Amino acid sequence: MPEGLGQAIVETAGDIAALLRAVPDTSAPVPGSRWSVGEAAAHLALANELMADLASGRERPYGDGTPGSLAAANARALAGFGERRAEPLATMISEQAGLFLEAVGQAASHGPAENPTPLTPLGPMDPAVLGSYLLTHMLGHGYDLARAAHRRHMLDRDRVMLCMPFMLSVMPRVADPAATAGLTARYAIRLRNGAAFGVVLADGAVNVTPGPPDRPDCTILLEPVTFLLIALGRRNPWRAIARGQVVAWGRRPWLAPRFPTLFTAP
């Protein structure tokens, strides 16, 4: 996995566990969600277990990657798992993150032939992308839990950069066909003091490149944490633009506000 990813997974799981242990009432609602704190924490614990199982080579069907199927799978999992107390869930979140890293380490000690690429709800992913997926998922729900507990969230630039392998791999899969239909555009996305990548749309196809495309129609510069929160549906892009956290320029700068609408957060 990329340097620092394992440490970020451990530290993020620890931050979420510490936050949960300080919550006096897990029945409190999570802002902007139908879940309570206890339900969101239970989902995180189950998701970390799922990721650890996938890294271990166990098959775990969990929807087909569409938002509706993932929501249904989440509902079924929560219905069959009654724990909502902070301490057991905090422990499970941390322990399963550790088991994930153990599984990745064990797989790395064997040859590729003995370790088929895990099939996740969002398609096959190698360990680097799967670890990035785990971190991204924890950060999204960790942000929700921090808001519910009125605590500082655990997102920062370095952790967002470690989310990028997953974000770039999954963007074509979560593109909204209705939103991308008929659109031809070349976007350059730049994260302030960080990564840059390209998104090229043509004839309904979405192609993500590890670097900006030649002659982009629209270049968008974002503060990294803002980028991740917008991508995960946690921040209103118009509000971010108003606060100067998003800046756009180019031959067709009016394409910038349209960019977030091209994708549906899983």
Structure-block tokens of residue 110: 């064997």
Q: Considering the entire predicted model, what is its pTM?
A: 0.93
Structural contact between residues 79 and 85, judged by C-beta atoms closer than 8 angstroms: no
Lowest mean pLDDT among 28-42, 105-119, 190-204: 105-119
Cα angle for residues 32, 9, 46 (degrees, 5° grid): 55
Lowest mean pLDDT among 116-125, 126-135, 157-166, 220-229: 116-125
pLDDT tens string 165-194: 999 999 999 999 999 999 999 999 999 988
| pLDDT computed for residue 115 by the predictor | 59
Asked if 12 contacts 131 with a C-beta cutoff of 8 angstroms, the reply is no
Give per-residue pLDDT as tens, 121-155: 888 899 999 999 999 999 999 999 999 999 999 99
Domains and CATH numbers, the chain: 5-165 (1.20.120), 175-262 (3.30.1050.10)
- How far, in whole angstroms, is CA 195 from its chain's centroid? 16
The region that residue 220 occupies, defined by phi over 0 for left and psi between -120 and 50 for alpha, beta otherwise, is beta
Residue 84 CA from chain centroid, whole number = 23
Q: Residues 70-81: what's their mean pLDDT?
A: 93
> Among candidates 120, 159, 137, which has minimal Cα distance to 234?
137
Residue 10, classed as helix, strand or coil, is: helix
Percent of the chain at pLDDT exceeding 90? 78
- Please provide the size of the chain in residues: 266
Question: What's the chain's average pLDDT?
Answer: 92
Cα angle value 221/222/225 (rounded, 5°): 160
Supply angle C-alpha 241, 157, 218, rounded to 5: 40
Instruction: Report the C-alpha gap between 185 and 188 in whole angstroms.
Output: 10
